Structure 1
Amino acid sequence: MLDESFLALLACPACDSRPRLEQSGEELVCTVCRRRYPVVDGIPHLLVEEATLPEPGNAHP
């Protein structure tokens, strides 16, 4: 689990704004575009190429 103060420093590289990233298991999820970024060995991989896109119709819960 990543520290909350560390999560507050991170931003989604795909969004124009600085949305919050939430931890969901071994992934970080952008609260705006819903892209999911993997966390491998405790290291967030915030690369757009490695992100999982939300399914159509599920972009905003």
Structure 2
Amino acid sequence: MDKQLLAMLVCPLCQGKLKYDRDNAELKCHYDGLAFPIRDGIPVMLEEEARVMSVDEKLGKTSPSDDDRSRPA
């Protein structure tokens, strides 16, 4: 995704900053808990097309398997 385009895009609901998730081809708004898809290199910035993020994903928590490795035995 073009860095200049990414710098100009904001969440259509709250006007907040978006985080680019390259692995899932999404732009994420952690405030609203929505992930907007990127299809064929074009961000789809429509609320009805956005995916609702899980609570852990919204808070930026790692998966349980990652947490287990960081704890002492």
Taking structure 2 as the reference length, what is the TM-score of the superposition? Answer: 0.66
Q: Distance in 2 between matches of 1:60 and 1:35?
A: 12
Aligned residue pairs total: 57
Q: How does 1:3-42 map to 2 (within 5 A)?
A: 3-15=2-14, 18-25=15-22, 26-42=25-41
Highest RCO, 1 vs 2 (Cα 8 Å, sep ≥ 6): 1
Identity of matched residues, %: 35
Deviation track 1:3-59 (CA, whole Å, cap 9, x = no partner) reads 2221111111122xx32111112111114223100000000000000001122x333
Q: Please, which runs of 5 or more residues in structure 2 have no aligned partner?
A: 61-73
Taking structure 1 as the reference length, what is the TM-score of the superposition? Answer: 0.76
Q: Please, which runs of 5 or more residues in structure 1 have no aligned partner?
A: none
Superposition RMSD in Å: 1.5
